[in-house]
Structure 1
Amino acid sequence: MAHDDTTRSRTPPRRLTIEDVATEAGVSVATVSRALRGLPNVTPSTRDRVQAVATRLDYHPDPAATRLAAGRTRTVTLAIPSLSGWYFSTVVAGAEAVCADAGLEFQVIAVPTPEQRNRLLDESQRLERRTDALILVDVTIEPHQVESLERRKVGVATIGSNIVGHPSVCIDDELVGQLAAEHLLSLGHRRFAAIGGRPEGPMSFDVPDARWRGFRRTLAAAGVSVDDGDLHNGNFSLDGGYEAIAPLLDGPHPPTSVFAMSDEMAFGALIACRERSLGVGSDISIIGVDDHEFSRVVELTTIHQPVADHGSLVARLLIAAMADAARTATTTSATPGASAHDVTASVDLTGPVRPVISLIERSTTGPPNR
C-alpha cells in the first residue's frame, strides 16, 4: 500500500487548460480568452463568471509550455478559403483562443484560389520568417508543398483533411450523409434532393463529395436511387440554399425531403419554403449539418458536429506537436548519436482526430404527407 501511495505522489497533476475553464463556466474557449484578456464582446455577467471560475480553479497559462512551443516568430497562421461564414469564424475563434492562452500571436489569411495558396507557400515568399506554424482549414496542398514546409520547419495542421504525420481534425463526412439518409428514410421519405457545395470551384474540397457519397450509398442500400442531378449547388451559404431549393419547390415533382450539407444552406431553404406557405416537417422535411447556434431557434433537425471545438483542438494538437519537435531537437543536439526515436512523442500523428457527430431531431423533419 505504501508503494502505491508513493507511486501516486510522483504522478504530477494534469495542468488545467483554457478548455477546463470554458467547460466549467459553460462558455466557449474564445469567450474565456476574451474575458480573461479584457477584450470587448463579452457581457459583464459572463466576464465575472469566467474570472470567478478561473480564480477558483487557479487557472494560469503555462509559461514553460509556451517557451517550448514557441519558435522563431511566436506566431501561428490560419489559412481559410473565405473570411466569411459561420463555420470558418467559429473555427477561427477557437484556434485563436488557444494560441492566446499559449502566448502565441495569431493571424488569419484567406486563400480562396489555388494561385493565392501557391503564392503563400512559394519558398520565395519566406513564410518561415513570418510564422512558426500553419493551420489549413479546408485548404488542400500538394505533397511537394508539404515537403517544402517540413524542410523549412514550418509546423502544419489541418481541419477537414488529413496530412499523414501532422495533426489533423476532421469528422467522418460519409457518416454525416449516412445519418441524414437513415433519418429521412425512417420517416418514410422516398423523394430526395440534396444541397451541397460548389464541386467545380477553384478550391473545391472533399467534404460535400463525402457527404453525398454517404447519402447516396445509404439510399441505394434501401432500394432508393438518386443521381448527381439530385445534388444542387448551394455554395455553403444562406443565399445559396435559398437559390438552390427555389426551382425545386416550383417544379412539377418537388422533393418531400432535402438534405442540406450545412445549416446555413438549410436556413435559406427554410425561407424559400415558408415564402410558399409550405409546412416544414409535413409538406417538406429539411435536415442540415453543423448545429449552428440558431438551429434551435428555427427548430432545425441537424447533424451536430462540435465546430467550436475544431479550432481549439487543432491548435492544441499543433502546439503539442511543436513542443515534441522542440524536445526532440534539444535531445538530439545534447545527446551524441541520439535520434528522434529516443524521445517519446505525446501526439499521435498516425491519423486524424475524429470528433463525435450525432443526429439532433427537431421539428423540420417528419413523415411525408404526399
Structure 2
Amino acid sequence: MGEKPTIRDVARRAGVAPSTVSRALSGTSYVAPETDERVRRAAAELAYPRPVRRPRGAQTVAALARFPSAWFFAEAVGGIERTLRAGGYHVLLHNVGDPAARAALPDERWGLAGLIVVASSFTPAEQARLEELAVPVAVVGGSWAGVPRVGIDDRAGAVAAVRHLVALGHREIALLAFDPDDFVGRATAEARRLGYLDALAEAGLEPNPDWVVATGHDAPAGARAVDRLLSGPRLPTALFAMSDEMALGALRTLRRAGIDVPGRVSVVGFDDQAVAEYADLTTIAQPAREQGERAAALLLESLAGVLDGVPDVDLPTRLVVRGTTGPPAV
C-alpha cells in the first residue's frame, strides 16, 4: 500500500500553494472557480481525504507564539484573544519558543478550527505538518506563502531608526541584534538587519562587523551586547537595538559604566512598549495589539467563508524621539 497523500502532494499536482488547497477543500474563503476545480480534481486523483469541518460550538483556534510573556507577543495575543472571543471562538496558546512544545505541534487530535502564527518561522517539515491540518491560517508578522498576513515593514522601521541617528551626525552606529541561530524568529531579525545595512549604505557608511552584536532578544541580551562592545578597541557613538528590551538592557549597562546617554552614546529601540516612555527611550513604535486584532479578524472572515483573496497588510510604524538620542560628542 502506498504512502498516504499529503496536502503538498495535492498542491504540486494542482500547481498551487498548500494554503490554497486548504482554502479550496474547506470552503473557508474565496478561491477562483478554475483553481477550485483544479484542486478538487487533484485531490480526487490522489484520493486525498476532504477535511471534516467541526461544529462551530466546539471550535478552538491555536495561537502559536515564540515568547508569550515578551511584550510584542503578549500584546499581539491579547488582540487575537479579544477579537476571536467576540467572534465566538476560544484561543489556545502554544509556546513554539520551547523545544519540547515545537516537537508537539498541533495535529488533528486538537480539533482546531484555525491557526494564528505570531512572528514565528517554521522549518519546511514543521510547516508541512501544520498544513496537513487543512484549517484556515493567519499570520501576525513573519510570512507564510498564500496565507493572510498582518504585520509591519520591519526593514523600513530599521531604516528609520538608523536614518535618525545619521541625521544627528552619527557615523559609528552599532546594531544589537537578535540571535541568528533562533530559527523561529529569523525572518524578523533578518529584515531589521537589512534595514540597518540599507541606512548605512544610503549614508555612505561601511558597516563594522565588530559592531553587529547578536546576543538574543531581551534586556539581559542587550546588556551582554554592550559588555562586548565595551571590551572592544573603540565604542561606537550610537546603538540601534532590535527591541526595546535590548535597548533597556543596553542603557543600564552604559549608565553603570559611567557612559553618558545621549552625551557619549545614543540609543534607539524598536517597539515602543509602555516602559519605553518612562525610560525616555527613543524608539520605533509598532501597533502590536492592532496587528493581532486585524489578523484575528481576517481569520474570522476565513472561518465564515467570506474572506476575499489573501490579504497582506503592513501597518505603519513611526519614529518616537525621546531623550536617549542626540548629536555625537565633538
TM range (shorter): 0.7 to 0.9
In structure 1, give the amino acid aligned to 2:145.
V
Aligned partners of 1:69 and 1:319 also within 8 Å: no
Instruction: Please name the residue that 2:199 is paired with.
Output: 218
Aligned partners of 2:211 and 2:229 also within 8 Å: no
Q: Which string of whole-angstrom CA distances, capped at 9 and with x for unpartnered residues, describes residues 266-312 of structure 1? A: 00011011112222121110000001101111111101100121211
Instruction: Please name the residue that 1:126 is paired with.
Output: 108
Instruction: Please name the residue that 2:79 is paired with.
Output: 94
Instruction: Please name the residue that 2:94 is paired with.
Output: 109
Identical aligned pairs, as a percentage? 32
Instruction: Please name the residue that 2:238 is paired with.
Output: 257
Change (3 A) 1:69 1:175: farther
Instruction: Please name the residue that 1:12 is paired with.
Output: none
Aligned partners of 2:222 and 2:249 also within 8 Å: yes
Instruction: Please name the residue that 1:85 is paired with.
Output: 70
Pairing of 1:212-291 with structure 2 (within 5 A): 212-291=193-272
- Cα distance in 1 between the residues matched to 2:272 and 2:146: 30
Change (3 A) 1:71 1:118: farther
- Cα distance in 2 between the residues matched to 1:217 and 1:347: 35
Instruction: Give SS of 2:316's match.
Output: coil
Instruction: Give SS of 2:240's match.
Output: strand
In structure 2, give the amino acid aligned to 1:78.
A
CA shift for structure 1 position 151? 5.3
Q: Which string of whole-angstrom CA distances, capped at 9 and with x for unpartnered residues, describes residues 145-182 of structure 1? A: 65665554312111222223322112111101211111
In structure 2, give the amino acid aligned to 1:236.
H
Aligned partners of 1:113 and 1:203 also within 8 Å: no
CA shift for structure 1 position 113? 5.7
Pairing of 1:1-370 with structure 2 (within 5 A): 71=56, 73-112=58-97, 116-117=101-102, 119-121=104-106, 125-127=107-109, 129-141=110-122, 149=130, 152-324=133-305, 345-349=306-310, 351-370=311-330
In structure 2, give the amino acid aligned to 1:286.
V
- Cα distance in 2 between the residues matched to 1:205 and 1:126: 27
- Cα distance in 2 between the residues matched to 1:227 and 1:203: 26
Instruction: Give SS of 1:120's match.
Output: coil
Gap runs ≥5 in structure 1: 1-67, 325-344
Instruction: Please name the residue that 1:47 is paired with.
Output: none
Instruction: Give SS of 2:274's match.
Output: coil
Change (3 A) 1:189 1:105: same
Gap runs ≥5 in structure 2: 1-52
**TM-score (ref. length: structure 2):** 0.77
Change (3 A) 1:160 1:301: same
Report how many residues are paired: 278
Moved more, 109-118 or 198-207: 109-118
Change (3 A) 1:69 1:180: farther
C-alpha root-mean-square deviation of aligned residues, in Å?
2.3
**TM-score (ref. length: structure 1):** 0.69
- Cα distance in 1 between the residues matched to 2:55 and 2:80: 15
Change (3 A) 1:191 1:204: same
Aligned partners of 1:162 and 1:168 also within 8 Å: yes
CA shift for structure 1 position 107? 1.1
In structure 2, give the amino acid aligned to 1:89.
A
Change (3 A) 1:143 1:257: same
Bigger radius of gyration = 1
Change (3 A) 1:295 1:70: farther
- Cα distance in 2 between the residues matched to 1:70 and 1:230: 55
Q: Which string of whole-angstrom CA distances, capped at 9 and with x for unpartnered residues, describes residues 119-143 of structure 1? A: 315xxx424x431111111222356
Higher relative CO (CA 8 A, sep ≥ 6), structure 1 or 2? 2
- Cα distance in 1 between the residues matched to 2:179 and 2:225: 12
- Cα distance in 1 between the residues matched to 2:135 and 2:127: 9
- Cα distance in 2 between the residues matched to 1:69 and 1:228: 53
